[in-house]
Amino acid sequence: MYTSEHEVRAVLTYQALIPAIRQALVDYSVGLVDQPARTILRAGNAEGQNNGWFAVMPVIHGDAMGVKTVTFYPGNAALGLHTHMAVIELLSRANGQPLAVMDGRLITEMRTAAVSAVALDALAPQQATSLGILGSGVQARSHIEALRLVRPALKDIRIWSRTPANAQRLAAESNARATSIQEAASADVVLTVTSSPNPILEGRWLAPHALVLAVGATGATLRELDDEAMLSSYIVAESRSCAERESGDIRLSNSKVKAEIGEILSGTLPSPTARRVVFKSVGMAIEDLTAAKLVWQARTISNKAL
């Protein structure tokens, strides 16, 4: 049975997703997740930045298996369409039986923000009160909701966008304020959620003990952070292998991942203190599987109650 985005939205909450993602990241770092590298094919639909891609992301964890097929078409924004679209298939590990097929666009959106929320809670100083956001799209909105859940003290939210009207609109919706890129980048916590192929965040703007949540511009040739931001920071990632293979921020700056967030959460490695930290996420299939299981379990319980 197919689960639509509307049905996913009705049952998936950050209150359930954030702790589930936290445990999944720990499990990944201790070797309990079988997750091969994602396969990516260029669509060849257009030239340059508007050339879309199609990716396949399989994973096995616990009692479940899953595979997400996801597309990213940057040019869709100008057409009024989502840039990311996805479908997730959930299967039983015990017998291979398909359990559910569901829309994956909202799951991708929410699990990405949930990963950042886990990283924020683990890495940001308790006294952090300001959040600067570079970008004003879907991920900016979802991150505001998720990050506020784990750190209600983030009252000063500053939003910058290449399109000032979009920053103003999101600020009005979120009890935030639209600012210059320099003011947003000087916050205690800085979130980058753009599709920029070239660096937009300059290290010279960052506070000495800032936490940067680098989420956008996923791809080995794309980057949001300049060399100074990367090379002056302690780099944490979901996965060393994924980030060093797929992140242009890391590859093109010749920086190295110092820790996986799961290693810090489990206590295997200490949390970096009194220094600038960059958390780089590229998205992993285990995160999609974790969210899909929550949706399937919630809908199974709901159907039994009918």
Q: Which pLDDT value is given to residue 75?
A: 87
Residue 139 — pLDDT band, cuts 50, 70, 90? very high
0.85 cut: is pTM over it?
yes
Q: What is the pLDDT of residue 306?
A: 57
Please name the residue ranges forming H helices in the chain. Answer: 5-11, 14-29, 105-123, 138-150, 164-174, 181-185, 227-231, 240-246, 248-251, 261-266, 285-305
Q: Is the pLDDT confidence value at 142 over 60?
A: yes
Q: What is the largest CA-CA distance in the chain?
A: 58
For residue 274, give both structure tokens: 């009194």
HSE-CB for 242 with a 13 A CA cutoff? 23
Q: What is the pLDDT, as a whole number, of residue 77?
A: 83
Residue 14 has pLDDT above 60, yes or no: yes
pLDDT band (50, 70, 90) for residue 205:
very high
Alpha-carbon span 144 to 14, nearest angstrom: 12
The reported pLDDT for the residue numbered 10 is: 96
Domains of the chain, first to last: 2-107+286-305 (3.30.1780.10), 124-283 (3.40.50.720)
Q: Using one digit for the tens of pLDDT, what is the confidence trace for 240-270?
A: 999 999 999 999 999 999 999 999 999 999 9
237 has pLDDT over 80: yes
Residues 6+ apart with CB under 8 A from 4: 102, 103
**In angstroms, rounded to a whole number, what is the distance separating the alpha carbons of residues 107 and 224?**
24
What's the average model confidence in pLDDT over 218-222? Answer: 86
Return the pLDDT at 244.
Answer: 94
Instruction: Assess whether pLDDT exceeds 80 at residue 277.
Output: yes
Task: Give the pLDDT confidence score for residue 305 in this predicted structure.
Answer: 66
Q: Report which secondary-structure segment, H or E, holds 64.
A: strand 64-72
CB-CB contact of 23 with 287 (8 Å): no
Whole-angstrom Cα distance, residue 89 to residue 57? 10
Question: Within 13 Å, how many C-alpha atoms sit on residue 139's CB side?
Answer: 26
- Percent pLDDT > 70 in the chain is 99
pLDDT band at residue 203 using 50, 70 and 90 as cut-offs: very high
What average pLDDT does the structure give for the chain? 95
55-77 residue pLDDT tens? 999 999 999 999 999 999 988 88
